[in-house]
Each structure stands twice: as structure tokens, then as C-alpha cells.
């Protein structure tokens, strides 16, 4: 019984990852320059803010917690691409193996 619940959760997570990947893919393939570029531009801005902080060029009111939040956003953004792609490739094989048992 527990295995069925775990399998259902894994399948739901797979569907969610596929949907998210589909959105990113649709944006990337868009003919509109802004639609296809807004995510990379946003990530570059956040990375630029972090690098600027390392060089001592920061806004006067930018606190350490705000910098950590920017870093968290960058990690989520990068993870979304890397993990999403990995999940898309691996999870179907895992589900097939679990169904074969």
C-alpha cells in the first residue's frame, strides 16, 4: 500500500516537472524575443547583483539577508533547469522499473 502511495506521488511529481519543463520550452521556442529571454535575463541580473556585492558595489540599503535571498533565487532558477531536465529523463525509467515489480 505504501509503495502505491509513493508511486502516485512520484508520478504526480513527474507530471509537475514535465509541465514546468513544457512552459520553459514553450518560452524558449517563442518567436517573441522578450518571451524567450526573460528568464535568462532575470537570472543574469541576480547573478550580477551577487557578483557586485563580492566586489563591494552594492546598494546602500542591501542587507545580508537580502543578498542571501538573491542567492536563493539564483539557486532555485539554476536548479529548475538542471533538476527539471534530470527528472524528465530519469523518473520515467524509475516508474517503469517500479511497475515491473
Span 18-58, pLDDT tens digits: 777 777 667 667 788 777 777 778 878 878 877 887 888 87
Quick one: how far is CA 23 from the chain centroid? 12
pTM, rounded to two decimals:
0.47
Taking only the tens place, the pLDDT of each residue in 58-81 is: 777 878 888 788 778 777 777 666
For Cα atoms 15, 85, 42, give the angle at the middle one, nearest 5 degrees: 105
Amino acid at each position: 500500500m505504501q509503495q502505491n502511495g509513493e508511486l502516485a506521488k512520484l508520478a504526480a511529481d513527474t507530471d509537475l516537472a514535465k509541465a514546468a519543463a513544457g512552459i520553459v520550452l514553450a518560452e524558449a521556442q517563442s518567436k517573441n524575443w522578450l518571451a524567450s529571454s526573460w528568464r535568462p535575463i532575470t537570472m543574469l541580473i541576480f547573478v550580477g547583483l551577487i557578483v557586485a556585492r563580492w566586489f563591494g558595489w552594492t546598494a546602500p540599503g542591501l542587507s545580508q539577508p537580502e543578498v542571501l535571498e538573491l542567492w536563493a533565487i539564483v539557486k532555485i532558477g539554476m536548479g529548475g533547469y538542471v533538476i527539471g531536465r534530470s527528472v524528465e529523463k530519469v523518473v520515467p525509467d524509475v516508474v517503469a522499473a517500479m511497475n515491473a515489480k
